[in-house]
Amino acid sequence: MLTRNQRGFTLIEIVVVLVLIGIIATTVFTRSITTDQINIGAQTEKIKSHIRYAQSMAMKRSDIWGIKCASNEYWLFSGADPDNGPNQEIQPGENTVKISLDELNLTMDNFTVFFDRYGKPYNAYSDESSNNPLSSDLTITVSGPQSRDLIITPETGLIRTP
Predicted confidence (pLDDT) per residue in 39-54, tens digit: 888 889 999 999 999 9
User: pLDDT digits over 103-137, tens only?
Assistant: 888 999 999 999 999 999 999 888 777 888 999 99
Residue range 71-85: mean pLDDT, rounded: 91
Query: What's the distance, CA 102 to chain centroid?
Result: 17
Q: Give residue 157's identity as a one-letter amino acid code.
A: G
Instruction: State residue 28's pLDDT score.
Output: 79
Instruction: State residue 35's pLDDT score.
Output: 67
DSSP state, 39? H
Confidence of residue 93 (pLDDT cuts 50, 70, 90): confident
Instruction: State residue 129's pLDDT score.
Output: 78
User: What percentage of the chain reaches a pLDDT higher than 90?
Assistant: 62
Instruction: State residue 71's pLDDT score.
Output: 83
Confidence of residue 10 (pLDDT cuts 50, 70, 90): confident
Of 110, 106, 112, 96, nearest in space to 143 by CA: 106
Instruction: State residue 136's pLDDT score.
Output: 94
Instruction: State residue 149's pLDDT score.
Output: 94
Residues making up the chain, counted from first to last: 162
Domains of the chain from N-terminus onward: 35-160 (3.55.40.10)
C-alpha torsion 104→109→112→114, nearest 10: -80
